[in-house]
Amino acid sequence: MDHTKAPTYNSKEGLVLDLKNFICRCQNRVMKFNTAIESAVDDGPEDMKAEGIITLDSYLQYCERLLRWVPNVDTTGDELLRKILVFYWVFDQPSVLGLQTPISPETSNNDLSWLSYWLVSFARQQGQFLSTPESAGLVYTFYLNPKYNSDAAFWEKPASGWQSFNHWFSREWKNINISRPVDGLSNDHVITMPAESTYAGNWPITKGEIQLKIKGVDYYHWPVKDLLQTKEDTWNEGHFTHSFLAPTDYHRQHAPVSGEVIEARVIQNQVYLQVAKNTATGRIYADRAMVRAPAEVRRRRGVRVQYESEGEEGEGGEDVSPRASNKNQDLDAPDDAGYQWCQTRGLIVIQTEKYGKVAILPIGMAQVSSVVLTVKKGDHVDKGQNISYFQFGGSDCVMVFEKRVDFQVKPKEKVKVRKQVATFENLPVVDDLQKR
């Protein structure tokens, strides 16, 4: 591939044309993006080939198509997820990372770089299309796909039909009390899962921070106040827990505890998706871990990522090659840890009667940056009540507890919404009889 060749495709979509012009304004960016396409094709050939991407021009054409793509799946695959993965796979290549705002707690309140803001704009424009009647044209394919249809008989289908893809994506149950009954409804000790999701783990809060340790060494100290964007000093010794949703999951969130809503708002920030290569299959997948696997760190740190502000006259500094090596780089350190601090997210804080405050943060991932709250400040919510929902794609859900809690689930365990996951610390775990 000729890394100096500028893209020539003039998209009919103004947003895609903006990206092309951004690339072409600086020869260094042309080289960086061509390098990114080459490494993306080399490391994810099957997925890139499936979307017809072999050059920078063909990637721009793909972006144009994606803005008006009517979501559909065949009877076995998951095109919905693949489309999102391929889009972000290119931006996750080492040569273009430096053009984006770093993903770390330290940058959570910073203005975004041009390219990071472009990604936000792209997600918004695609989301607008997915709220149109045209976008619902192939919803029936999801009813035929076993990845999506296992609970289809229990979905509520509006009499007027699905008005858009987002309308279907935020679907509800016919009777959630039958499909997903609430554990411990009358037992305030019990904490339930706010979202149908895979549990990723929990971390204690110490002196207002979450400390991530790898091989016994502290690498990150993430301030909870920055995550919640609050000035309160009451979140000092509690717990942080993280789980993630797949595109196939139910995408509404429900209160894990009962109490009064004392805060409800949406925090606008980045859109992001960590994409990794499965070394066994060669396919790409969504990497939702708190820190990235060593193999992914090596892939992304095969070059020295130089942020655009480091270069002369804001032009991105020296060109880099994805095949270069840096043996001095610590490959055991976290890479892109703490992305929850930088994502667009909802924030709902519930004041419980006995156990302090509980914050629930539905966190948008990639194109799922539309977090819709269904409660407001001053509302009383019962455990299990709907409090928010996502539109389009996979996403994350975080809970932050003002007090310490005891967890009864294990990392990587798939948990249904409204099922018990924890009890407040130093209190007995309830049995099945007590749950009811």
371: nearest Cα among 396, 351, 352, 406: 396
Element (H, E) at 86: helix 79-91
Two structure tokens written together for 255: 């209160």
Q: DSSP of 20-79, one letter per residue?
A: HHHHHT-HHHHHHHHHHHHHHHHHSHHHHHHTT-SSHHHHHHHHHHHHT------SS--H
pLDDT, mean of residues 149-160 = 92
209's CB contacts (< 8 A; 6+ apart) are 221, 222, 223, 224
Look at residue 359 and tell me whether its pLDDT is greater than 70: yes
Element (H, E) at 424: strand 420-424
> pLDDT tens digits for 155-167?
999 999 999 999 9
Domains of the chain plus CATH, in order, are 14-129+273-314 (no CATH), 133-168 (no CATH), 182-268+344-435 (2.70.70)
pLDDT of residue 247: 82
Provide the H-helix boundaries in 293-425: 294-300
Could you tell me the pLDDT band of residue 179, with boundaries at 50, 70 and 90? very high
Share of the chain above pLDDT 70, in %: 77
Which of 92-101, 228-237, 397-406, 422-431 is predicted least confidently? 422-431
User: How far apart are the C-alpha atoms of 207 and 204, rounded to whole Å?
Assistant: 10
pLDDT of residue 1: 86
Which of 216-220, 331-335, 338-342 is predicted least confidently? 331-335
pLDDT, mean of residues 223-248 = 88
pLDDT of residue 356: 95
**Torsion of Cα atoms, 419 then 423 then 427 then 432, to 10°:** 10
User: How far apart are the C-alpha atoms of 49 and 40, rounded to whole Å?
Assistant: 11
Long-range residue pairs from 281-287, CB within 8 A, at least 24 positions apart, any chain: 282/44, 282/45, 282/46, 283/44, 283/46, 283/47, 284/43, 284/44, 284/47, 284/85, 284/86, 284/89, 285/85, 286/81, 286/84, 286/85, 286/365, 286/394
User: How far apart are the C-alpha atoms of 190 and 332, rounded to whole Å?
Assistant: 37
User: What residues are paired with 246 via a beta bridge?
Assistant: none
Q: Are 255 and 385 a contacting pair, CB within 8 Å?
A: yes
Look at residue 84 and tell me whether its pLDDT is greater than 90: no
User: How far apart are the C-alpha atoms of 13 and 10, rounded to whole Å?
Assistant: 9
Could you tell me the pLDDT band of residue 391, with boundaries at 50, 70 and 90? confident
